[in-house]
Amino acid sequence: MLDSYTTLRLGGPAAELIEASSAEEIVAALQKADATNHAPDDAVISAFVLAGGSNVVVADAGFPGIVVLLRNRGFSVRREGERAIVRVEAGQQWDELVASTLSEGLAGLECLSGIPGSAGATPIQNVGAYGQEVAETITAVRVYDRHAGEIVTIGPDECCFGYRKSIFKHNPRFVVLSVDFSLAVSTRSMPIRYAELARVLGVAPGERAELTRVREAVLALRAGKGMVLDAADPDTYSVGSFFTNPVLTGDEYVALRGRVSVEPPAWPAPDGSVKVSAAWLIERAGFAKGYADVGAGVGISTKHTLALTNRGTGTTSALLDLAREIRDGVRYRFGVVLHPEPVLINCSL
């Protein structure tokens, strides 16, 4: 059963599980899976890879193919003056990597402390939090191209990074094997951009703070929102934020403002688009923290509106029903469509 490999603790069986502890073993497992298909265009659906399982929703029926468990771990550091290149294996636990880079006096990942999952997942999602995104530090992503049948290195421009997206997301052609990050050699953080974090640290936006202080503050903020893994916390079984903040065109934002009496939290972009808080929309559509379908075993986190949780007896079907209810409620109330942040395996919203 795949439920034991996901942070939601949901998901049915796989036809076959293969543990891969090196890039060579990952490639061999994928080649085995793809060789079972005779149509090249269908080859990429014969298997999927799973590492930390923190950003996937797996169907109750499971997956009718091979699931490759990424277990390649470790990283190396190469210092080059005021910068350091950190090469990390895809299966490396992410927060362990972040903690290690900070202890090495390397800045650039400190605001991404406490995020569950693996390093290889970070470029796929362009993981970000508290004013930082991995796209700012990634210099190369080494992948196995399942169409070409070869290992290639993709530069940051080719990754097509955007808000919670990249060329890798929803694209099983490329399987991440390792990632290179360029970090600053410094015991002080990068400039603090996120207002809430700046307030906690007692600094002005744009100022820096000691790396250890930033990590401690971020971990405390995440814990207060149920966004760290804690077996004693019933809100812990989630994928973090289930919906992304919607990015609206200028006209769409004007239409939204016409439907509300108070201006929603929003972040205008230079291209005229406006990112709006999904949590704000969800709460004002009638879905408060702790909202649950009684008896279904799933509900909104009691700490964070964006997290949908398995309360211990839930199913993937029930979780997706709740997600649809929220999505449809927001669309009816505000005319804005929410999109899921996690990858959906053998199921859909």
84-111 pLDDT, tens digit each? 999 999 999 999 999 999 999 999 999 9
Tell me the domains of the chain and their CATH numbers.
Answer: 2-70 (3.30.43.10), 75-224 (3.30.465.10), 247-345 (3.90.78.10)
Kindly report, residue by residue over 275-297, the tens digit of the pLDDT.
Answer: 999 999 999 999 999 999 778 89
| φ/ψ of residue 308, rounded to 5 | -100, 130
- Asked whether 49 and 168 are in contact (CB, 8 A), the reply is no
Residue 227 pLDDT:
78
For the whole model, what pTM was predicted?
Answer: 0.87
Active site residues: 164, 241, 341
DSSP secondary structure letters along 86-102 = EEEETTSBHHHHHHHHH
Tokens matching residue 275: 């990112």
With residue 255 as reference, give the H or E element that holds it: helix 250-257
